[in-house]
Amino acid sequence: MYGWKNGRNSNNWLNTREYLEKNPDVARAGINPFLHWIRWRRFEGGQPMCSDAKTNKTENSYDYQSWIKNFDTLMEDDVRKIKEHIERLSHKPLLSIIMPVYNTPEKFLRRAIESVINQLYPYWELCIADDASTLPHVKEVLEEYRKKDKRIKVIYRETNGHISEASNTALEIATGEFIVLVDHDDEIPPHALYMVALEINRNPDTNIIYSDEDKIDENGNRFDPYFKPDFNYLLFLGQNMIGHLGVYRTSLVKKVGGFRKGFEGAQDWDLALRIVEIVPEYTVRHIPFILYHRRVLERSTASGIQTKSYVREAQYKVVSEHLKRRNIEADLIDVNGVFWRVKFLLKNHCKKVSIIIPTKNKVELLYRCVESIFEKTSYKNFEIIVVDNRSDDYKTLEYLNKISKHPQIKVLRYNFPFNYSKINNYAVKFATGELLLFLNNDTEVINNDWLEELVSHAIRKEVGAVGAMLYYPNDTIQHAGVILGIDVVAGHAYRHFPKGHPGQFGRARLPQYLSAVTGACLMTRKEIFQEIGGFDKKLEVGYNDIDLCLRIREKGYKIVWTPYAELYHYEGATRGIETIANPRARREAWTMIERWGKILYFDPAYNPNLTLDRLDFSLAFPPRVKKPWYEI
């Protein structure tokens, strides 16, 4: 299970510069040194630290079944170590598994109960509420297991009340410190409750715990894993990313009144949202392990939300009521019949935006950019500040002179060598807007409400910066947010994927918090930009936007990426495309690695079971997680 050999060296951190000095061919070839170093550290004396990995296969040849075999299968030594670790836990909380049951097929009911009985962590109680099942085998099976294990409690409801009322009935007999939600035909792996107890020991203030999950068919075959980010409230408004395995502090569940009737199909989402409203976000903890297998049967919600049309109605009700309780003015818009977009309303907010565009020659690019802003922008309270960096082309100078007479445009001259950070910092001194939008001159606006969308996020007090969806001219994705650790320091998610692609579980279609967004189109409040001291002038060309975002996050603000502000980006049209083989680019990469270190390797918006070698959210071989049972 997640086999970095005995967990050893998993805390070692980068000395990438040392590695490059010893392996100069890597740098000369333009190979990703960051990832190369990581691969190098994974081997000791030629032996892979992932003990079961088939190292003779290329990473692209692995599928989920191979991943399970190599990294998600408990061996005898794992089981022994886990049992030893459980005995050493200072706190052994009682966990109450809540399982509502109704006419469950016998073999799946048995598998669900057996998966609880087979838990390596022994301090649990299984609270089953039968919701007036009409099939006789249900009671026979429940009584059989109740008599077999005293930790199993069963209560029989006289009338069918559906999943919310049945769950509340099970909750009535729960005595544990936390409740664990398990459906009557699903399964949990043997180490699931151990991982939950360990998280509670590590973070005693935990209120909600959730894990990664996958699906399992009628024959027990696992598929379709969802490796989730750490808690991401904005993404959570668009989808129930907590889902399973869902664990909640019992006192809080009772405080908010348990499950609510009338929200069937979205009752777990409703419960989680009501608890999130009253607890700090940092008490919602994510365990990056597959700890839940959702059974896919015909007509089950797991097989497709369309199989239960009432689920969509319940979801709409759940999220819209949550927004009302939090006094958030927003519209809720359907996304692909599966997810939801929360569109924040501006109402009377109409703050001025200063759009800052550095440029040099290439008049056709600047013309297209500026004209598209005026032609397609419905939000009218803006000014454009064009910063000319030593243009010497006659047509460009002529155009700059022309637009300088426009009442909404300022043209500044920056007569020094190109330095993206210095140019933008200089322009901010002349900005009169409360909001700053840093925009490349090789962009072109697509949708009319792009600026409204950016502003609607940027004015929220918890938000520090906002980025947009950018496309190449051939309608493939150029930027759908930034993932740290990819492409040396950071890379663009879903690059070259077709326009409209949903991404991993809809993430390419949903606004969400990320660690960084590209400076090609980045909005922030002027007060925040000044608070952190602007762009770092040491980062002349590369990573200045990533560094800016990370410093904004360091101050406690959120970074938002939204797919609903759309622009074309003719990337590299002004200065060309650069690679890590460029000495200056390597120098800037080292600056980022030395400054931000481990943050670049463990992006909270990206699961450590996903690869840093590609931009498609595919599986990592091996994953960047440790076996906690080896840490002792």
Q: Is residue 279 part of a domain?
A: yes
In this prediction, residue 586 carries a pLDDT of 87
Q: Is residue 338 part of a domain?
A: no
- Report residue 490: phi and psi, to 5°: -165, 155
How many other C-beta atoms lie within 10 A of the C-beta of residue 428?
Answer: 18
Q: Cβ-count burial of 136 within 10 angstroms (0-12 exposed, 13-18 middle, 19+ buried)?
A: exposed
Read off the CATH number of the domain in which 485 is found: 3.90.550.60
C-alpha span between 541 and 547 (Å, rounded): 12
How, if at all, do strands 353-359 and 435-439 pair? Answer: parallel
Classify the phi-psi angles of 272: left when phi > 0, otherwise alpha if psi is within -120 to 50, otherwise beta.
Answer: alpha
Beta bridge mates, 339: 335
C-alpha span between 339 and 244 (Å, rounded): 17
In this prediction, residue 576 carries a pLDDT of 52
**The domain containing residue 126 runs over which residues?**
86-294+310-325
CA angle 555, 557, 562 (to 5 degrees): 145
Q: Is residue 380 part of a domain?
A: no
In this prediction, residue 406 carries a pLDDT of 97
pLDDT tens by residue, 408-457: 999 999 999 999 999 999 999 999 999 999 999 999 999 999 999 999 99
Read off the CATH number of the domain in which 243 is found: 3.90.550.10
In this prediction, residue 13 carries a pLDDT of 35
In this prediction, residue 348 carries a pLDDT of 79
In this prediction, residue 21 carries a pLDDT of 52
In this prediction, residue 52 carries a pLDDT of 31
Spatial contact of 466 and 443, defined as CB atoms under 8 Å apart: no
Q: Is residue 39 part of a domain?
A: no
CA angle 250, 255, 261 (to 5 degrees): 95
Q: Is residue 485 part of a domain?
A: yes
pLDDT along the chain (632 residues), means of 10: 30 42 46 45 32 34 86 96 96 98 97 98 98 97 97 97 96 98 97 98 98 96 97 98 97 97 96 98 98 84 57 96 96 95 90 97 97 97 97 96 97 96 98 98 98 98 98 97 91 95 96 98 98 97 97 98 98 57 85 92 95 92 91 73
In this prediction, residue 429 carries a pLDDT of 98
How, if at all, do strands 482-484 and 208-216 pair? Answer: unpaired
pLDDT tens by residue, 362-411: 999 999 999 999 999 999 999 999 999 999 999 999 999 999 999 999 99
Give the total number of structural domains in the chain.
2
In this prediction, residue 309 carries a pLDDT of 80
How many other C-beta atoms lie within 10 A of the C-beta of residue 348?
Answer: 5
Question: For residue 622, is the peptide bond before it cis, meaning its omega torsion is within 30 degrees of 0?
Answer: yes
Q: Do 439 and 321 share a structural domain?
A: no
C-alpha span between 487 and 36 (Å, rounded): 11
CA angle 490, 491, 493 (to 5 degrees): 135
In this prediction, residue 581 carries a pLDDT of 64
Q: Is residue 62 part of a domain?
A: no
Q: Is residue 147 part of a domain?
A: yes
Q: Do 237 and 119 share a structural domain?
A: yes
Kind plus residue range of the DSSP H or E element containing 303: none
Q: Is residue 355 part of a domain?
A: no
Q: Do 119 and 251 share a structural domain?
A: yes
Spatial contact of 542 and 588, defined as CB atoms under 8 Å apart: yes
C-alpha span between 190 and 1 (Å, rounded): 12
